[in-house]
A and B are shown apart, each in its own frame.
Chain A
Amino acid sequence: MRIAWAIAINDLKQRLRDRSAYIVGLVAPLGLAVVFGFVLAPAQNFEVDAKIGVVDLDRGPVAELFVEGTLAQQPNVELVRIDSVDAAMALVDTEVTPFSADEDIAHAVIVIPAGFSDDVQSDRPVVMEVIANETSDVEAGMAVAMTQGFASEMSSVRVAVATVEEVMQQPVDRLATGAEVLITESPAAVVDVTASTKQLAPVTYAAAGMAVFFVFFTVQFGVTSILQERHDGTLARLLVAPIPKWVILAGKSISAFVVGVVSVAVLVVATTFLLDAEWGPVVGVGALIVAAVVAAMGIVALVGSFAKTAEQAGGLATMLGVVLGFLGGTFFDVSQAGGWLADARFVAPHAWFLRGLADLSAGDAAVVVVPVLAMLAFGLVTGAIGMVMLRKGLRP
């Protein structure tokens, strides 16, 4: 075992001198995480401001309730009161740039028909109208939602007032009764408890994705250095020394493992301070990192056992690393894809790493057990096959 350490330490020293190792292990993932943080930030803080026109052809009490009591009270809505439908159309029927709000445009226009207030208090059909700008579908969606909300409120009030009249068998002051209905608490209400959940922030996801993506490249040298040593002739010297073959493999594995874990750990620390990434409790994150490194080493060993030269091994491992990385969602979150893709991603250890991290942010360290086992299994199976074949191939 002492010899294994000696081999490992020698390899590590070489790594420390190799500038390209720093680029792949640290600069690239950190650079990408920083860029993603920079690019994603605006979407996180973006607020949609809708400019909504309203044409009140009714001017009755119910219309006023809608315009002044509902629309004018909305945050993020700039309300423009317009006199005629023609003038409103000129504002909304125009080509706009998404999320822009120039002087002479409206994202949507709401038309309250003449006789609206009276009709709502009758049993006649009532139709409100929303004209939405096609480009401004988000802002227009807000206008539609507010109008539909009010319409369903009015439907509800109509039913309530009619029910009262029905059971009392006499007409009531519909406007006054309706106002009372409006302040009656709805028996079923939805509360948004999103804040109580714990979700990975996009920047954490990006940082984690890059860390696990690049670790598949960082650990490559463990195998490629064997092939390189064969090429350089140093392997022959190692083999004639009284060292069992497995010790050589162990030494190479130790150094690859150390470099893998250290590079991800440095990334965790760096992204925590630079990008405010929140990785979660140390124990859980540590277990995930170790398992991910093992998985990466396993696949590299397997691929490397097929290769004849270091370049070939590097090329094949990179190819697999990229495919598994994309599939596993390191660059683009594929979890909402649904169907076969959402399941297929778990072929990649990357997906397990990201899943483990997401669960970890919400639960205690125990939730990482399954992802860790999945990655370890992946690494040990591929690694065992790879090691056996590498050992066979370990000759000058």
Chain B
Amino acid sequence: MKALAIARINLIRHFKDPGIVFQTFLLPVLIVVLLGATSGAGTAQVGFVADQSDSLIAELRAALAASDTFDLAEYGTADEAVRAVERGELQGALIVPGGYEATLRGGGNVTLEFVGRTDEQIGGVGTIVDSVVKQQATLLRAARFAEDRGLATFQTALETAEGMQSTLPPVQVEVSMAGEPWKLAELGRFDLWSQNMLVLFMFLTTLQGASAIVASRRLGVTQRMLSTPTTARTVIVGEGTSRLVVALIQGAFVLLGTWLVFDVSWGDPLTALIIVVAFAAVASGAAMLLGALAKSDQQAGSIALAGGLVLAALGGAMYPLAVMELLSDTVYRVAHVTPHAWALEAFEELTAFGGGLVDVAPFLGVLALYALVFYALAVWRLKAVMRRTAHG
């Protein structure tokens, strides 16, 4: 019972801090909104720069604008468009030289310039832009060919070619789909980020609670508790309970909040909750361990901030775990050093693959192991520290 009283006081202290309240409840949801909005605007932007609006340019613009891979954005000058690409605002830009139509009709050749992103990963917009331009060049090339053979003037040949094109059906490509879509690509735009932020913030916020443990020790609160007929075990259970409850409250809040607000699918709710419980145990264990090891509450706070973010980044809570798995075995394996990766795997199994408690059991087992090790180490260190404090 005493342990519960200690936990209760800790919780009251914890939630008195407006910063903590903000970080526990609002921040994760805010970031999900931010990232959801970012990934929602999925269509790439491609800049289009053309000096004058002659009919050929108008056709080109219309053909490019018809693409569903990207949205076309007009830019006044090549410099502006290139800068926007360099800044990462555009995925690419097509720069049409001045006098486009006049040059072509006059028998000259024109070169259009394309700039793309160097960090563009896969499936470039460059190829699409290229093929659209080629398509338009169809008539021009036909006219040029006839002209080169001395059969007609460019203008006559172009008119003839236009006539021919309207009567000849184009060679068509029919695309059909087979197989199954990738399960993870089916997740909604807020789903993945909700899982990631749940894991990131549960661990981070809980770990930051370690500074409260250190503060109690440093301020002599622990010592006073121990001078009453209270065992070290009770104090440790009390501290642990409060950290666990903090983690659970945040986890449950993010789970519920994202489900209610963004309709995020968490799969089987009971299993999702069990994953939250398991991860809360890991996070609170880590907080206890840090609380036992850190020398000052400032130190605990900064290690918590650094560690919480680094582990999240490594464990796939910032850069998706599923993408790591596809691109690099090494990165994917290293990610599993963190408990984050195991929790995320469990959520992935639950949401994308419709798994149940049995399917996520292996991941829960690993999380339980983490929790056990963290708690065991923490209790061992805390007992030693408290014994010293009690006698000192």
Give A residues with C-beta under 8 Å from B: 18-21, 23-24, 27-28, 31-32, 35-36, 38-44, 46, 48, 89, 92-99, 120, 123-138, 141, 144-145, 147-149, 151-156, 158-160, 162-164, 166-168, 180-181, 184-194, 196-202, 217, 311-312, 314-316, 318-319, 322-323, 326-327, 331-339, 341-342, 355, 358-359, 361-362
A99 touching B326 in the complex, CB below 8 Å, given contacts A185-B109, A190-B130, A333-B88: yes
**Cα-based distance from A93 to B181 in the complex (angstroms):** 11
Q: Which residue of chain A has its CB nearest to the CB of B133?
A: A190
Q: Which residue of chain A has its CB nearest to the CB of B69?
A: A141
Please indicate the chain A residues that have their CB under 8 angstroms from the CB of B156 in the complex.
167
Please indicate the chain B residues that have their CB under 8 angstroms from the CB of A338 in the complex.
41, 45
The verdict on B113 contacting chain A, using a C-beta distance below 8 Å, is yes
Q: Are A192 and B116 in contact (CB under 8 A)?
A: yes
Q: Are A23 and B115 in contact (CB under 8 A)?
A: no
Q: Are A20 and B112 in contact (CB under 8 A)?
A: no
Q: Are A164 and B151 in contact (CB under 8 A)?
A: yes
- Could you give 25 example pairs across A and B, Cβ below 8 Å? A20-B301, A23-B303, A28-B305, A39-B313, A41-B331, A93-B179, A99-B326, A127-B172, A127-B174, A130-B175, A134-B179, A136-B179, A138-B123, A151-B171, A156-B138, A156-B142, A159-B161, A184-B144, A186-B134, A189-B137, A191-B111, A191-B112, A192-B114, A315-B18, A355-B87
Q: Are B171 and A152 in contact (CB under 8 A)?
A: yes
**Cα-based distance from A214 to B58 in the complex (angstroms):** 48
Q: Are B151 and A123 in contact (CB under 8 A)?
A: no
Please indicate the chain A residues that have their CB under 8 angstroms from the CB of B82 in the complex.
197, 362
Shortest C-beta distance, A121 to chain B (Å), equals: 11
Q: Are A315 and B112 in contact (CB under 8 A)?
A: no
Shortest C-beta distance, B297 to chain A (Å), equals: 9
- Of the candidates B123, B146, B179, B319, the one whose C-beta lies within 8 Å of that of A94 is B179
Shortest C-beta distance, A99 to chain B (Å), equals: 5
**Cα-based distance from A330 to B224 in the complex (angstroms):** 44
Please indicate the chain B residues that have their CB under 8 angstroms from the CB of A93 in the complex.
178-179
Q: Are B174 and A130 in contact (CB under 8 A)?
A: yes
Q: Are A337 and B38 in contact (CB under 8 A)?
A: yes
The verdict on B30 contacting chain A, using a C-beta distance below 8 Å, is yes
**Cα-based distance from A335 to B137 in the complex (angstroms):** 34
Give B residues with C-beta under 8 Å from A: 17-20, 22-23, 27, 30-31, 34-35, 37-38, 41, 44-45, 82-83, 85-89, 91, 94, 100, 104, 108-119, 121-123, 126-131, 133-146, 148-149, 151-152, 156-157, 160-161, 163-165, 167-182, 185, 295-296, 298-299, 301-303, 305-306, 309-310, 313-314, 318-319, 323-324, 326-328, 331, 334
**Cα-based distance from A264 to B268 in the complex (angstroms):** 46
- Of the candidates A95, A145, A322, the one whose C-beta lies within 8 Å of that of B131 is A145
A194 touching B23 in the complex, CB below 8 Å, given contacts A95-B179, A336-B88, A358-B87: no
Please indicate the chain B residues that have their CB under 8 angstroms from the CB of A194 in the complex.
114-118, 126
Please indicate the chain A residues that have their CB under 8 angstroms from the CB of B134 in the complex.
149, 152-153, 156, 186, 190
Shortest C-beta distance, A150 to chain B (Å), equals: 8
- Of the candidates B44, B145, B151, B170, the one whose C-beta lies within 8 Å of that of A168 is B151
Please indicate the chain B residues that have their CB under 8 angstroms from the CB of A164 in the complex.
145-146, 149, 151
- Of the candidates B145, B163, B323, the one whose C-beta lies within 8 Å of that of A166 is B163
- Of the candidates A19, A28, A200, A316, the one whose C-beta lies within 8 Å of that of B309 is A28
Please indicate the chain A residues that have their CB under 8 angstroms from the CB of B89 in the complex.
335-336, 342
Q: Are A123 and B167 in contact (CB under 8 A)?
A: yes
**Cα-based distance from A239 to B53 in the complex (angstroms):** 71
**Cα-based distance from A38 to B313 in the complex (angstroms):** 10
Please indicate the chain B residues that have their CB under 8 angstroms from the CB of A181 in the complex.
141-142, 145
Please indicate the chain B residues that have their CB under 8 angstroms from the CB of A362 in the complex.
82-83, 86
**Cα-based distance from A70 to B296 in the complex (angstroms):** 68
**Cα-based distance from A326 to B309 in the complex (angstroms):** 13
Please indicate the chain B residues that have their CB under 8 angstroms from the CB of A159 in the complex.
138-139, 142, 161, 164-165, 168
- Of the candidates A19, A312, A322, A358, the one whose C-beta lies within 8 Å of that of B299 is A19
Please indicate the chain B residues that have their CB under 8 angstroms from the CB of A132 in the complex.
175-178
Q: Which residue of chain A has its CB nearest to the CB of B159?
A: A163
A323 touching B27 in the complex, CB below 8 Å, given contacts A338-B45, A359-B83: yes
- Of the candidates B20, B91, B112, B145, the one whose C-beta lies within 8 Å of that of A190 is B112
Residue among B114, B117, B178 facing the most chain A CB atoms (10 A cut-off) = B178
**Cα-based distance from A316 to B87 in the complex (angstroms):** 31
**Cα-based distance from A56 to B303 in the complex (angstroms):** 63
Q: Which residue of chain B has its CB nearest to the CB of A46?
A: B327
With A127-B172, A318-B19 known, 19 other A-B pairs at CB within 8 A are A23-B303, A39-B319, A48-B122, A123-B167, A129-B173, A130-B173, A138-B123, A160-B141, A167-B156, A181-B145, A188-B100, A189-B133, A189-B137, A190-B130, A197-B85, A322-B27, A332-B318, A335-B88, A337-B38
Please indicate the chain B residues that have their CB under 8 angstroms from the CB of A94 in the complex.
178-179
**Cα-based distance from A233 to B244 in the complex (angstroms):** 37
Q: Which residue of chain A has its CB nearest to the CB of B183?
A: A135
Please indicate the chain B residues that have their CB under 8 angstroms from the CB of A189 in the complex.
109-112, 133, 137
**Cα-based distance from A141 to B177 in the complex (angstroms):** 11
Shortest C-beta distance, B305 to chain A (Å), equals: 6
Please indicate the chain B residues that have their CB under 8 angstroms from the CB of A337 in the complex.
37-38, 41
**Cα-based distance from A227 to B351 in the complex (angstroms):** 48
Shortest C-beta distance, B152 to chain A (Å), equals: 5
Please indicate the chain B residues that have their CB under 8 angstroms from the CB of A341 in the complex.
34, 37-38, 41
- Of the candidates A145, A202, A361, the one whose C-beta lies within 8 Å of that of B86 is A361
